Amino acid sequence: MTFSLSSRGLLVLGLLAALLLCSALTGASAQENSGGSGGFVALTGDEARQYQAPDDVREVWIATDDGLTQTRYQQYVGDAAVYGGEITVLSRNG
Co-location of 68 and 79 in the same domain: yes
67 three-state secondary structure: coil
Residue 13 falls in which region: left (phi positive, over 0), alpha (psi -120 to 50) or beta: alpha
Domain that holds residue 81: 40-94
Residue 29 has a pLDDT of: 44
Co-location of 92 and 77 in the same domain: yes
Residue 74 has a pLDDT of: 95
Q: How many angstroms separate the CA atoms of 26 and 65, rounded?
A: 43
Co-location of 32 and 71 in the same domain: no
Co-location of 29 and 47 in the same domain: no
Instruction: Report the residue count for the chain.
Output: 94
Per-residue confidence band for 12, with pLDDT thresholds at 50, 70 and 90: low
12 three-state secondary structure: helix
- pLDDT digits over 20-70, tens only? 666 665 554 444 445 555 678 888 889 988 888 889 999 999 999 998 999
Confirm whether pTM is higher than 0.75: no
Q: How many angstroms separate the CA atoms of 40 and 87, rounded?
A: 10
Side-chain-facing half-sphere of 54: CA atoms under 13 Å: 10
